[in-house]
Structure 1
Amino acid sequence: MTATLLSGNRVMQPAAFEREIERAAAAMQSSGVAPGDAVALLLRNDFAFFVASLAARWIGAFATPINWHATPDEIGYILEDSGARLLIAHDDLAAPLADRLAGMTLVCVPTPAEIAAAYRLPPSTAPAGAMAWDAWLPDEASPAPPRGPGGASSLIYTSGTTGKPKGVRRRPFEPGHLAAQAQIAVHGYGLDPAETIRVLMTGPMYHSAPNAYGLVSAELAEKIVLEPRFDAEELLALVQQHRITHMHVVPTMFVRLLKLPEKVRAGYDLSSLRFVVHGAAPCPTQIKRQMIDWWGPVIHEYYGSTETGLVTGHGSSDALARPGTVGRALPGVTLRVIGEDGKHAGTGEAGDIHVRSEAVPDFTYHGHPDEKSALEQAGFVTVGDIGWLDEDGYLFLCDRRRDMIISGGVNIYPAEVEAALLGIGGVRDCAVFGIPDPEFGEAVCAYVEPDEEATLDAAGIQRSLAGSLSRYKIPKVVRFETHLPREDSGKIFKRRLREAYWANEGRAI
């Protein structure tokens, strides 16, 4: 059973959705896609994204979504590295790639009117030589049966915050994985097939978490409503209109929702919401508390990564009782924290987080298996996150080891400094990272996005932080930007801010 899909004024009923998947699977086979091949998707959240992803799985291929904010060179790298010979793209996104697709089949999907309006896109047409989506789909389809339970899984590229992105290629799901994954869907996402589920998709599905959430929802939900582009008040209106029960969001969306005038916030009926889950980035404790006060105990959080899948989860009561936690291990997941000495860290002691999960198949980095081996230890995997466990097994994150700043030999976690910055009145958002320092190796740098009417200055920021941070953690450099560079999910592109400082240093740390 599949969901009804809605976007703008368009509707795709379950029978049509399933038929479209079959037709796309047949078209992929006719285009030479074989089991184990990559099918590249350069699409915003649209019906075609769901159809192509599930069709690739049907024939045992790997759907490979690409961040459409990437440059042509970055997209070209993923196309080459993945070995994809089929690219399915929206018309306007394909146009800049016309000279980079030699030897590749390009199928173009018309950019929907609601997406074009949301992004204020000019009229666009497919590049010469592209096949139109509707013409590519056959009238009659008899695709081969799925290659094992669930067919192939995914080939999703990591963000590439340091260096080139790596393709996380996961093996096909086996029956044992599917049973554990069903428990993850219930406990991590709140997607219980025994209940009525109406989903609002807000985050871009080129990211691994919204991708997994959306595709699981396609099989379990009654309906999925696609918001063409996140807008805080439109989100409230869609929840009210469609009686939405479930959402997957990021903390930046909470911040923007809370910025709405009180009269606007009070003007919508949100009583249908049952399970709103967030992840992808830390959520300041005061923001989470305000959201729980507003929406009630429907706010949940998970922690995970592209490599590990969902690892921990918790609900509103845990968030209030243990501010800052990302929850306890989900069913089928085993956690341990390893200290600098290579031994298990004690309660409250920070170290590298190691994960083993029965809910997801094993993975490799496509074309770079040696890098996967470097992450493994006795059946556990670490992706460089640092954290600690309390006496009840609740996990708290410190930072990512690759983001850690080492200044004068002292470790500084940007997430701690960012949390302190977000507690200062007038600070809408921020990004903290290390920059070259001739004396200490690295210095702390903060970029601050202020509220529109805020009057902030660097000295004032530093004085405010002195009350909550050690002196060596206070940013030496503070810059203000009206709009910090972001992905469509709201995640800040730290790399773009950071790389300008390191470009001529001959080193990256």
Structure 2
Amino acid sequence: MSRSSHPYQPRFHPPEKPAFVMCDSGETVSFGTLEARANQGAHLLRSNGIGVGDHIAILMENRREFLEICFAADRAGVYYTTISTHLSASEIAFILKDCDARLLIVSDRFLPLAQSLSQGSACKMLMVGSATAGLPSWSDALAQQPQTAIPDERQGLDMLYSSGTTGRPKGIKWPLPDTRPGAPGMLIDLLSGLFGYDSETRYLCPAPLYHAAPLRHSMVTIKMGGTAYVMPRFDAAEALRLIERHRITHSQWVPTMFVRLLKLPERDRLSFDLSSMQMAVHAAAPCPPDIKKKMIDWWGEIIHEYYAGTENNGFTAITSAEWLTHPGSVGRAKLGTLHICDPSGAEIPVGKTGEVYFENGHQFAYHKDPDKTASCTNAQGWTTLGDIGHLDDEGYLYLTDRKSFVIISGGVNIYPQETEDVLLTHPAVLDTAVIGVPNEDFGEEVKAIVQLVPSMDPSETLKTDLIDYCRQRLSPVKCPRSIDFLETLPRSATGKLYKRQLRDLYWKS
């Protein structure tokens, strides 16, 4: 395929048009500048011995160089692993070793961490920024590289790690495509087809780029010729200001962001002009139906939802109009065929609850973990992410919870998501997690851990009120028998709850 025969490479978009904007500083990178820096980055990777199929890792906050490095790897046929900035040195060291990283590119914000890692890691390290403390500088070396394309261009891929909410993170590896950079691929076709990313898109990214969805949606937007607006971190009021200021057309959220948007004073949140918005997509975690209905009432029928994992073994999607007639659903399959199976992996009838499997989805493997890859594959070759749900007669999927989060009390399966959805509708609750804790008679009992809105103070009276609130809306077995308050719940920046950390507080004590 010649480079001029497809429209996906940034080099064919108007060179003066913004490819992405850093919202905190206003720093703007045009398509022409991105083209030059991506080419320089590809040359720099080659000069450091990074060839086709090799691995690099990126550890930095949302900043200009992050996307430029990803596009450089995208041009060089390199696997790039983006690492959460919230991980400890030992967790990062594990990922570096596990993904076989030959080069770590880290920002000067994490200089002490970089110095610690440099002492125990075999991979090379380059620093982004000015404070390098004697470590080699990516920025200085980049400036010495030519701005022309490398002669052996090849399409690269991300190799991202699971969030580790239920265990140690695992790298998710797809086969490297044998194509030139920017050739049409599954992600470009799927996301642009479903959500309308094109050259007119102005996409707001309110989440860290080291997570799969923010990174992939931002890069697809840019590859389609649109402009991505990248926030340094999520702030509810600031997100609304940015939508108004930049006339944002597309955006991506997680349910905890919706909760925080809705908890803003009504007079404040309704004062912004959001009329430019054409599509707001959410995923990553289940959205309480009441929260989603309020968002549709506020923003209109522009809210889309999808269900998928970093593995992309399957994909469902649902529009606002569909959701209003199928409340609680995450949609019908857009990639792969859905099946609901029993614990043995055998398919069960429509309407019955079981584990969600996809047939004929995108092929993947957990890096260096064939046992885990095999454990999520049944005898038919269908794969699962470990979620529980059911299908209706029209093929709409309804998720119940993660298999690993199910509470078993007196032999009864309790799905905490339903209780969490109820608690989140209470005006005093900003966030909540429902878990099973030890019970001598029943094995487990239901406990709610609650983060209050800033204006509320913890009290025994409020605990009683919250339990009563649940009892008015749920069967007794689903209601918490006790409530604890925490200042902040352990969530990833994309809203995934680290329930394992909370469970450990009660099961290891």
Q: Same fold (TM over 0.5)?
A: yes
Letter in 2 for 1:261: P
What residue number does 1:4 align with?
19
Query: In 2, distance between residues paired with 1:460 and 1:263?
Result: 28
Q: Secondary structure at the match of 2:447?
A: strand
**Residues 1:371 and 2:372 aligned together:** yes
Counterpart amino acid of residue 106 in structure 1: M
Which residue type is aligned with residue 72 of structure 2? A
Check the 8 A contact 1:152/1:171 in 2, yes or no. no
Cα deviations by residue, 1:167-186 (Å, 9 ceiling, x for unpaired): 111112468x9455444213
How far, CA to CA, are the matches of 2:248 and 2:360 in structure 1?
30
Task: Look up the match of 2:139.
Answer: 133
CA distance in 2, matches of 1:54, 1:357: 29
SS at match of 1:325: coil
Report if aligned partners of 2:106, 2:114 keep a CA contact under 8 Å in 1: no
CA contact (8 A) 1:243 1:272 kept: yes
**C-alpha separation between the residues in 2 aligned to 1:415 and 1:183?**
32
What are the residue-to-residue correspondences of 1:70-469 with 2, within 5 Å?
A: 70-101=87-118, 102-110=121-129, 125-141=131-147, 142-147=149-154, 151-173=155-177, 178=184, 180-188=186-194, 190-193=195-198, 196-308=200-312, 311-330=315-334, 332-340=335-343, 342-358=345-361, 360=362, 362-377=363-378, 378-454=380-456, 457-469=462-474
Q: 2: distance between equivalents of 1:398 and 1:66? A: 29
Residue by residue over 1:37-59, the C-alpha shift from the partner in whole angstroms, topping out at 9 and shown as x without a partner, is 21101122222111111221222
- How far 1:342 moved relative to its partner? 4.2
2:135 counterpart letter in structure 1: G
Pick from 70, 73, 80 the counterpart of residue 63 of structure 1: 80
| Aligned AA (2:305) | E
- Say which SS state the counterpart of residue 85 (structure 1) adopts: strand
CA distance in 2: counterparts of 1:398 and 1:97, whole angstroms: 41
CA RMSD of aligned residues (A): 2.1
Change (3 A) 1:352 1:39: same
Alignment of 1:19 onto 2:36: yes
CA distance in 2, matches of 1:237, 1:134: 35
SS in 2 for 1:67: coil
More displaced 10-residue stretch of structure 1: 289-298 or 165-174: 165-174
Contact 1:198 1:221 in 2 (8 A): no
Instruction: Say if 1:201 and 1:248, in contact at 8 Å, map to a contact too.
Output: yes
Q: Secondary structure at the match of 1:156?
A: coil
What one-letter code is carried by the residue in structure 2 that aligns with 1:233? A
Distance 1:187 1:434 in 2: 41
Q: Is the 8 A contact 1:5 1:224 kept in 2?
A: yes
The code of the aligned residue for 1:446 comes to A
Taking the aligned partners of 1:40 and 1:370, their CA distance within structure 2 comes to 25
Secondary structure at the aligned position of 2:251 is classed as: strand
2:500 pairs with 1:495: yes
Match of 1:116 in 2: none
Code of the residue aligned with 2:248 in structure 1: it is I
Q: State the secondary structure of the residue aligned to 2:400.
A: strand
Shift of 1:458: 2.2
Amino acid at match of 2:352: E
What runs of 5+ residues in structure 1 fail to find an aligned partner? 111-123, 505-509
Q: Compared with structure 1, are the counterparts of its residues 160 and 383 closer, same or farther at alpha carbon in structure 2 (3 Å cutoff)? A: same
Residue 174 to residue 379, structure 1, CA distance change in 2 (3 Å): farther
Q: What is the DSSP-based 3-state SS (H/G/I as helix, E as strand, rest coil) of the residue aligned with 2:308?
A: strand
After TM superposition, give the deviation of residue 502 of structure 1 in Å. Answer: 2.4
Shift of 1:208: 1.5
Local SS of the residue matching 1:383: strand
**Given that residues 95 and 127 in structure 1 are in contact (C-alpha distance below 8 angstroms), is that contact kept between their aligned partners in structure 2?**
no
Shift of 1:315: 1.1
| Offset at residue 430 of structure 1 (A) | 0.3
Once structures 1 and 2 are overlaid, which stretch shifts more, 208-217 or 384-393?
Answer: 208-217
Counterpart-to-counterpart distance in 2, 1:191 and 1:134: 38
State the one-letter code of the partner of 1:370. Answer: D
Q: Is 2:484 the partner of 1:482?
A: no
- Is the Cα–Cα contact under 8 Å of residues 387 and 398 in structure 1 kept in the other structure? yes
Paired with 2:434 and 2:319, the residues of 1 have a C-alpha distance of 28
Partner Cα distance (2:45, 2:278) in 1 = 38
Counterparts in 2 of 1:182 and 1:125: CA distance versus 1, 3 Å: closer
CA contact (8 A) 1:62 1:153 kept: yes
Instruction: Check whether the contact 2:278–2:302 (CA below 8 A) recurs between aligned residues.
Output: yes
Aligned-pair CA distance for 1:310: 5.5
Q: Secondary structure at the match of 2:385?
A: coil
1:90-119 per-position Cα deviation (integer Å, ceiling 9, x unaligned): 111242231322433221222xxxxxxxxx
Specify every segment of 5 or more residues in structure 2 that has no aligned partner in the other structure, as ranges: 1-8, 11-17
Comparing 72-81 with 272-281, greater Cα deviation is found at 72-81
Q: Which residue of 2 aligns with 1:118?
A: none
- Following superposition, the deviation at residue 162 of structure 1 comes to 2.5
**Retained in 2: the 8 A contact 1:95–1:126?**
no
Further displaced range: 7-16 or 207-216:
207-216
- Aligned AA (1:434): G
Given residue 255 of structure 1, which amino acid in structure 2 is its aligned partner? V
Mapped partners of 1:144, 1:440: distance in 2: 66
> 1:463 offset after TM fit, Å?
1.8
Change (3 A) 1:405 1:363: same
The partner residue of 1:33 within 50, 53, 67 is 50
Partner of 2:4: none
CA distance in 2: counterparts of 1:283 and 1:275, whole angstroms: 17
TM-score, structure 1 length as denominator?
0.89
**SS at structure 2 position matched to 1:215:** helix
Write the distance in 2 (CA, Å) between the matches of 1:18 and 1:55: 9
